[in-house]
Structure 1
Amino acid sequence: MAALGPALGAVGSRRDDLPAAICDMTALQLSRAIRSGQLGCREVMEAYLARIERFNPLYNAIVAMPEHSELLSQAELADRDLARGHYRGWMHGMPHAVKDLADVKGLVSTGGSPLFRNHVATRDSLVTARMRAAGAIFIGKTNVPEYGLGSQTYNPVYGTTRNAYNPDLVAGGSSGGAAVGLATRMLPVADGSDMMGSLRNPAAFNNVIGFRPTQGRVPHEGSDLFLQQLGYEGPMGRDVDDTAQLLATLAGVDPATPLSLRDTFSGAPPMAEAALAGLRIGWLGDYRGYLPMESGVLPLCRGALGTLEDHGVAVEDAVPDYDMARLWRCWLTLRHWALAGGVGALYAQADKRAQMKPELVWEIEGGLDMKAVDVAAAGVARSDWYRALLALFERFDFLVLPTAQVFPFAADVHWPRQVGGVDMDTYHRWMEVVIGGTLSGCPVVNVPAGFAADGRPMGLQVIGPFGQDARVLSFARAYTGVTPWLGRRPVLREA
Structure 2
Amino acid sequence: MRYNEICYLSAREIREKIGKCELSATEVMEAHLNQIERVNPTVNAIITLHPDQAMNGAQAADAAIARGDDLGPLHGLPTAVKDLIPTNGMRTTFGSPIFKDNVPDQDAIIVERTKKAGAIVIGKTNTPEFGAGSHTFNPVFGATLNPYDTSKTCGGSSGGAGVSLACRMLPIADGTDLGGSLRNPANFNNVVGFRPSPGRVPAIAPLGWSTFSVQGPMARTVSDVALFLSAIAGPDSRSPISIEQSGSIFAAPLQRDFSGVRISYIPDLDGLPVDGRVASIIESSVGVLESLGCIVEEATPDFSNADELFKILRAWGTASVRAELLKEHRKSIKSTVIGEVESGLKLTAMDVGRAEAMRTDYFHRVRTFMETYEFMIMPVNQVPPFDVGIEYPTEINGVHMETYIDWMKSCYYISSLGLPAASVPCGFTPEGLPVGVQIVGRHHDDFGVLQLANAFESVSRIGERLPGVLG
| Global fold match (TM > 0.5) | yes
**1:296, CA displacement in angstroms?**
2.0
Gaps of 5+ in 1: 1-16
Shift of 1:192: 0.6
Percent identical pairs in the alignment equals 39
Output the CA distance in 2 between the equivalents of 1:476 and 1:236.
13
Tell me by how many angstroms 1:218 deviates: 1.1
Amino acid at match of 1:43: E
Please give the per-residue CA displacement for 1:374-416, whole angstroms capped at 9, x wherever unaligned: 1111111111111111111111110111001001011111111
Which residue in the other structure is 1:5 paired with?
A: none
Residue 343 (structure 1) aligns with: 322
CA deviation after TM superposition for structure 1 residue 83, in Å? 0.9
* In 2: Cα distance, 1:43 partner to 1:140 partner: 18
Equivalent residue runs for 1:167-182 within 5 Å: 167-182=150-165
Show the counterpart of 1:453: 430
* Partner of residue 292 from structure 2, selected from 288, 294, 311: 311
Please name the residue that 1:54 is paired with: 38
Equivalent positions of 1:251-290 (< 5 A) are 251-265=233-247, 266-267=249-250, 269-270=252-253, 272=255, 275-289=257-271
Query: Cα distance 1:41–1:272, how it changes in 2: closer, same or farther (>3 A)?
Result: closer
How do 1:259-408 and structure 2 match up within 5 A? 259-265=241-247, 266-267=249-250, 269-270=252-253, 272=255, 275-289=257-271, 291-323=272-304, 326-349=305-328, 352-408=329-385
Deviations 1:165-191 (A, max 9, x none): 111110000000001100110001111
| 2:129 counterpart (146, 156, 161) | 146
AA partner of residue 190 (structure 1): A
Aligned in 2, Cα 1:311/1:43: closer, same or farther, shift over 3 Å?
closer
1:186-234 per-residue CA deviation (whole Å, 9 max, x = no partner) reads: 00111111001000010000111100001211113212222x2210000
- Distance (whole Å) between structure 1 residues aligned to residue 201 and residue 470 of structure 2: 36
Write out per-residue CA displacement over residues 269-304 of structure 1, whole angstroms, 9 at most, x where no aligned residue: 54547x122111101221232x11222221220122
CA apart distance, 1:493: 5.3
1:185 to 143, 164, 168: 168
**Which deviates more, 367-376 or 81-90?**
81-90
Distance in 1, Cα, partners of 2:403 & 2:302? 26
Q: What is the aligned partner in structure 2 of residue 45 from structure 1?
A: 29
Bigger drift between 432-441 and 172-181 goes to 432-441
Q: Displacement of 1:268 after TM fit?
A: 6.1
- Counterpart-to-counterpart distance in 1, 2:14 and 2:212: 34
Q: Secondary structure at 1:242's aligned position in 2?
A: helix
Paired residue for 2:197?
A: 214
Please report how far the alpha carbon of residue 487 of structure 1 lies from its aligned counterpart in structure 2 after TM superposition.
Answer: 1.5
Q: TM-score, normalised to structure 1's length?
A: 0.92
Partner residue, 1:161:
144
* Distance of 2:303 and 2:130 partners within structure 1: 31
Do structure 1's residue 225 and structure 2's residue 202 form an aligned pair?
A: no
Q: Secondary structure in 1 aligned to 2:469?
A: coil
SS at structure 2 position matched to 1:167: strand
Q: How much has 1:436 moved relative to structure 2? A: 1.9
The secondary structure found in structure 2 opposite 1:305 is helix
Report the Cα distance in structure 2 between the residues aligned to 1:74 and 1:303, rounded to whole angstroms.
44
Paired residue type of 2:399: V
Q: For the Cα contact (< 8 Å) 2:310–2:413, is it kept in 1?
A: no
- Give the number of aligned pairs: 470
User: Could you list the per-position Cα deviations for residues 88-128 of structure 1 after superposition, in whole angstroms to 9, with x for gaps in the alignment?
Assistant: 41222221100111011111000100100011111101100
Whether 1:433 aligns to 2:410 is: yes
Instruction: Quote how far apart the aligned CAs of 1:20 are.
Output: 4.2
1:75-94 superposed matches below 5 A: 75-94=58-77
Q: Within the alignment, does 1:136 sit opposite 2:119 as a pair?
A: yes
Provide the aligned C-alpha RMSD in A.
Answer: 1.4
Conserved? CA contact 2:3–2:30, under 8 Å? no
Q: Does structure 2 conserve the Cα–Cα contact (< 8 Å) formed by 1:268 and 1:470?
A: no
Offset of 1:73 from its aligned partner? Answer: 2.4
Q: Separation in 1 of the partners of 2:303 and 2:404?
A: 24
Q: What SS class does the counterpart of residue 426 from structure 2 fall into?
A: strand
Q: 1:34 deviation in Å?
A: 1.2
Tell me how far 1:343 sits from its aligned partner.
Answer: 1.3
The aligned residue for residue 461 of structure 2 is 484
- Matched position secondary structure for 1:276: coil
Alpha-carbon distance in 2 for matches of 1:473, 1:311: 15
**Residues 435-457 of structure 1 deviation map (CA, whole Å, 9 limit, x = unaligned):** 12101111001111201111111
Q: 1:127 aligns with which of 102, 110, 120?
A: 110
User: What is the aligned partner in structure 1 of residue 11 from structure 2?
Assistant: 27
State the distance in 1 between where 2:278 and 2:58 align: 44
Is the aligned partner of 1:466 residue 2:443? yes
Equivalent residues of 1:209, 1:447 under 8 A apart: yes
Verify the 8 A CA contact 1:269 1:471 in the aligned structure 2: no
Q: Deviation of residue 151 (structure 1)?
A: 0.5
More divergent stretch after superposition (237-246 vs 71-80)? 71-80
Is the 1:101–1:147 Cα contact (8 Å) retained in structure 2?
Answer: yes
Q: Helix, strand or coil for the counterpart of 1:315? A: strand
**CA–CA distance in structure 2, aligned partners of residues 477 and 396 of structure 1:** 19
Cα distance between partner residues in 1 of 2:385 and 2:48: 26
Confirm or deny: 8 A CA contact 1:268 1:473 kept in the other structure.
no
1:204 and 2:187 are equivalent in the alignment: yes
Partner of 1:13: none
Task: Kindly indicate whether the alpha-carbon contact (under 8 Å) linking 1:284 and 1:319 is maintained by their aligned counterparts in 2.
Answer: yes
Letter in 2 for 1:199: L
CA distance in structure 2 between the aligned counterparts of 1:49 and 1:331, rounded to whole angstroms: 40
Quote the Cα distance in structure 2 between the aligned partners of 1:75 and 1:310: 43
Distance of 2:380 and 2:372 partners within structure 1: 22
TM-score (normalizing by structure 2)? 0.97
Q: How far is the alpha carbon of 1:49 from its aligned partner?
A: 0.6
What are the Cα deviations for residues 12-34 of structure 1, in whole angstroms up to 9, with x where unaligned? xxxxx364421011111111111
Cα shift at 1:236: 0.7
Question: Is 2:83 the counterpart of 1:106?
Answer: no
